[in-house]
Amino acid sequence: MASASGEGSPARVDGDYESLVSTPDVELLKRAWRNEKAAPEILHFQTDLIRRVIGQIQLTEETIEEFSSDGIDPLTVSLYQMDLDRTQYLLRSYLRIRLQKIEKYMFHISNKPEVQSRLSGQEKGFARRCTEDMERHLEEGVLSKLPENYQDILKQSIISEENDMGN
């Protein structure tokens, strides 16, 4: 990476590399959370980041317990606690936003493998269950009462050439 660049650039590349390495996971999580919140579509699941964040949260929880049993200054403990709370909020909100997007676009997600590749393994399971539940619900509520050729969820009737039920 650095070897191909000219005279002035190695310093810049190093600077970028350092900033990449030193960005704390919390910052990365915040960025991922902001992106997810603002984007109308579901984005790629940050598997590694989430795994690291969960590990760090557990570590911090244990540290806090040790602190409170060691009798460390309660102000310090509550500062750690606050930091932990904020990180937990980010993590939970990130996962929640993704779940709500899955609920909203479940049929689109099941039909487009490109979008489906952006979900984590557990999210794929959740999406599958969601679509199954919704299909059962629609079938029993409406489609079973319609004449045979009209019972498809995605096509208006069997003579439709494409999936024209909109949603």
Partner 1 sequence: MSLLCPRKIQEEGLDVQTTRNGDHYGALIHHLALVRNKRCLMTYVYSRAEIISSLIWKVGPVLPHEIQEKLSHLEEDYFKKHSAALKSYMSRLDLDLTVDMVPPKDPYIQVRVLDDIGVVLSDDKTTNFARHSMHFLKRTDAEQFISRVGRPAA
Q: How far is it, in rounded angstroms, from Cα 39 to Cα 118?
A: 13
Tell me the two tokens of residue 141: 């509520």
Binds partner 1 (CB under 8 A): choice among 34, 37, 44, 137: 137
Binds partner 1 (CB under 8 A): choice among 31, 92, 111, 117: 92
Binds partner 1 (CB under 8 A): choice among 55, 89, 112, 117: 89
Q: How far is CA 150 from CA 26, 40, 102, 164, in A?
A: 51, 32, 27, 12
Q: How far is CA 38 from CA 5, 35, 88, 89, 94, in A?
A: 35, 5, 20, 17, 11
Residue 74 makes contact with partner 1 by CB under 8 A: no
Q: What residues line the site for partner 1 (CB under 8 A)?
A: 54, 78, 81-82, 85-86, 88-89, 91-93, 95-96, 99-100, 103-104, 122-123, 125-126, 129-130, 133-134, 136-138, 140-142, 146-147, 150, 153, 156-157, 159, 165-167
